[in-house]
Amino acid sequence: IEALAADCRDEEACRERVGDVTADITAVVDRLDATPYSGTDEDGRPLVVTGDDAVSGLFVSLYDSSLIPLLPEAIDSLARGNDMLIPVMAGAAVPVMNDTSEGAYLSYECADNARLDSGAAGSDTVDGATQGTLLLLSGWYLMCDLWDVEPTPASFDDPVVSTIPTLVIAGEYDPITPASRSRAIAASLDRSLYVEVPRGGHTPGSASSCVREVIASFVTDPEHTNRGCIDAQEPVPFGG
């Protein structure tokens, strides 16, 4: 979210239409914490949304590359008191949470992350975390004490070292697998090709014909992959 806000400030048209995305998010959170939205979602189910819920919805929205260009103006609209988008955002976010097998989810999340909730590792994780990240971490803290799975050893986080040709694809705004982590993974692999999709979210290649072309080229000849469309790709303008 911070990267999106910074890029909106740098893009003249977005800056003039929207202004400060970070300030808008703060305004949305304060407003909805003071007076939560009460209504129904697109399927008619009762819906109550607080400031934290709104941040969680924005976090989930960053998974979808097609939504990202629309987010600055959507956030600005919410900051101005227009709640018409809340049922739409809930319609996108709620299935992500409800359609997941909670048992399977907690089994791997608690195994991977339960050891991060204490000691130096916990402090390093929380220090500098964004609000969306803290909300995610709070879910681990609340449930992992109750979900009895063996935590992974510290070596689980060691970089993978390999000489196998590997294509690493990242979305610039991926909220759950940040591009910085993907770059670090690529750097630890001897024969890697790193591709970053401008303003892409999570799994940015699923809706991108350009990324699919790069994947096909890599599979055909890893040593001579044609990544020209990525290198020439301009970010989708905000609002477009």
> SS3 string of 27-58?
HHHHHHHHCCEEEECCCCCEEEECHHHHHHHH
Q: How confident is the model at residue 221 (pLDDT cuts 50, 70, 90)?
A: very high
Coil/strand/helix, residue 182: helix
Spatial separation of the C-alpha atoms in residues 39 and 41, rounded to whole Å: 7
DSSP H stretches of helix in 62-178? 71-79, 85-98, 102-113, 119-126, 131-144
Res. 141: pLDDT tops 70: no
C-beta separation of 211 from 43 below 8 A: no
CA–CA distance from 61 to each of 69, 87, 163, 165 (Å)? 11, 13, 35, 32
* Residue-level pLDDT at 123: 46
Helix (H) or strand (E) holding 184: helix 179-188
* Residue-level pLDDT at 119: 46
C-beta separation of 184 from 159 below 8 A: yes
What lies within 8 Å, CB to CB, of 195 at 6+ separation is 167, 168, 169, 170, 211, 214, 227, 230
* Residue-level pLDDT at 159: 86
* Residue-level pLDDT at 120: 45
Q: How confident is the model at residue 74 (pLDDT cuts 50, 70, 90)?
A: very high
Structure tokens at 39: 């209504």
Q: In this predicted structure, which of 55-64, 76-85, 107-116 has the lowest mean pLDDT?
A: 107-116
- As a whole number, the mean pLDDT across the chain is 84
Spatial separation of the C-alpha atoms in residues 207 and 184, rounded to whole Å: 24
DSSP string for 112-128: HHGGGGSHHHHHHHHTT
C-beta separation of 147 from 101 below 8 A: no
Q: How confident is the model at residue 216 (pLDDT cuts 50, 70, 90)?
A: very high
**154 against 219, higher pLDDT:** 219
Place of tokens 């290198």: 231
Please tell me the pTM assigned to this model: 0.78
Judged by phi (left if over 0) then psi (alpha if -120 to 50, else beta), residue 164 lies in beta
Beta bridge partners of 166: 192
